[in-house]
């Protein structure tokens, strides 16, 4: 048993915004490593390996000081969740080397939509017309961001779309893990398994990073560990329906970082597609919140 955190919407919102800033920072650093900014580009598999390596080091260091109480993990759920999480992160890191951070980040917000769709066959959940409408709206936004014309189509955007689909699968297993284990244990086991998977995957393509690239790899892992810790603590202090909309601040930070460091300015298509995706995702989140708050009827009155 672990003690519940004191409820505070203000603290939860602040933590999520901090997490959003760090998550956007990891994609910015992944872009630097995947391009020629810091030397010969590193493969996406190597960038995701660094993310899990240094996140695991950060978490085990914290665990050595805090000595949290750990229980027996549900290994099969952790393995499935982490496998999809690793694949999603790798695809996301691959995409940001070729397309603007704002586009990749906006497309990644489709993961709850895919999670909803996949929950139908995998969790047996019922999905009504309103939830389907929100999902279709978000998918239209993604289609706009893909720029499906011969002159402007971005093939690399399909990598971000794939990342969103795989992360939607990860959400299914996160739901199954929720409430079973201590949140810190979930993070620790997730990064431990992720490091094992990433190490096996990176061996065929691994290349020696420069000192600057080592530093950025360490930065990605550390930032992700901080972001995960902020997210878990935010979820413990407020309802998920309240917390979720604040995570969309990641898009603002991604566009800001891309503008400052790469001079990339979002165009009208980016604004339109991102707005449609965020509208659909927010509509879905609000709908989920209303469904959870509805009391279970004792009898049918009409």
Beta carbons within 8 Å of 200's beta carbon, 6+ residues apart: none
Whether residue 256 has pLDDT greater than 50:
yes
- String of DSSP letters for 149-211: STTT--TTHHHHHHHHHHHHHHHHHHHHHTTTS-HHHHHHHHHHHHHHHHHHHHTTT--PPPH
Judge whether 73 and 191 are in contact, CB under 8 Å. Answer: no
Average pLDDT (158-171) is: 90
Beta carbons within 8 Å of 299's beta carbon, 6+ residues apart: none
Judge whether 54 and 218 are in contact, CB under 8 Å. Answer: yes
| Confidence class for position 34, pLDDT limits 50, 70, 90 | very high
Whether residue 59 has pLDDT greater than 90:
yes
pLDDT digits (tens, 9 = 90+) for 263-280: 888 888 888 888 888 888
Return the structure tokens found at 8: 């505070």
Positive or negative, the Cα torsion across 140, 143, 144, 145? positive
Whether residue 295 has pLDDT greater than 60:
no
Whether residue 296 has pLDDT greater than 60:
no
Q: What was the pLDDT predicted at 290? A: 66
Return the structure tokens found at 69: 């109480």
Return the structure tokens found at 18: 């901090």
Whether residue 300 has pLDDT greater than 60:
no
Where is average pLDDT lowest: 32-36, 123-127, 294-298?
294-298
Average pLDDT (177-196) is: 87
pLDDT digits (tens, 9 = 90+) for 3-17: 556 677 788 888 989
Average pLDDT, the chain: 84
Q: What was the pLDDT predicted at 229? A: 85
Higher pLDDT, residue 68 or 215? 215
Rounded to whole angstroms, the Cα distance separating 280 from 283 reads 5
The residue written with tokens 């694949």 in the block is 87
pTM for this structure?
0.84
Angle at 177 between CA 175 and CA 178, to 5 degrees: 65
Question: Using DSSP, how many helices (H) and how many strands (E) does the chain show?
Answer: 12, 0
Where is average pLDDT lowest: 84-93, 140-149, 260-269, 292-301?
292-301
Q: How many residues does the chain have?
A: 302
CA-based end-to-end distance of the chain? 43
Return the structure tokens found at 249: 């601040």
Q: What was the pLDDT predicted at 82? A: 95
Beta carbons within 8 Å of 261's beta carbon, 6+ residues apart: 28, 32
Burial class (CB in 10 A: 0-12, 13-18, 19+), 91: buried
| Confidence class for position 241, pLDDT limits 50, 70, 90 | low
């Amino acid at each position: 048993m672990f003690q519940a955190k004191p409820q505070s919407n203000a603290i939860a919102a602040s933590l999520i915004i901090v997490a959003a800033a760090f998550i956007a920072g990891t994609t910015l650093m992944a872009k630097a490593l995947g391009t020629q900014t810091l030397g010969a580009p590193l493969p996406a598999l190597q960038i995701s390996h660094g993310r899990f390596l240094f996140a695991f080091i950060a978490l085990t260091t914290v665990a050595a000081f805090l000595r949290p109480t750990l229980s027996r993990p549900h290994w099969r759920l952790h393995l499935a969740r982490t496998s999809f999480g690793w694949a999603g992160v790798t695809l996301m890191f691959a995409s940001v080397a070729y397309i603007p951070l704002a586009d990749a980040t906006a497309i990644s917000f489709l993961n709850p939509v895919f999670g909803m769709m996949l929950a139908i066959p995998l969790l047996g959940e019922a999905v009504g017309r309103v939830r389907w409408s929100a999902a279709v709206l978000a998918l239209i936004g993604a289609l706009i961001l893909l720029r499906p014309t011969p002159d402007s189509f971005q093939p690399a955007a399909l990598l971000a779309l794939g990342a969103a689909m795989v992360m939607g699968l990860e959400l299914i297993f996160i739901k199954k893990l929720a409430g079973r284990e201590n949140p810190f244990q979930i993070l620790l086991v997730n990064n431990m398994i992720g490091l094992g998977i990433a190490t096996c995957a990176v061996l065929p393509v691994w290349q020696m990073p420069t000192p600057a690239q080592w530093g950025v790899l360490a930065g990605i892992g550390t930032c992700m560990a901080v972001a995960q810790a902020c997210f878990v603590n935010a979820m413990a202090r407020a309802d998920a329906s309240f917390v979720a909309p604040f995570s969309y601040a990641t898009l603002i930070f991604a566009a800001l970082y891309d503008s400052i460091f790469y001079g990339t300015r979002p165009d009208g298509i980016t604004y339109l597609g991102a707005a449609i995706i965020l509208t659909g995702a927010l509509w879905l989140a609000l709908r989920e919140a209303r469904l959870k708050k509805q009391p279970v009827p004792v009898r049918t009155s009409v």
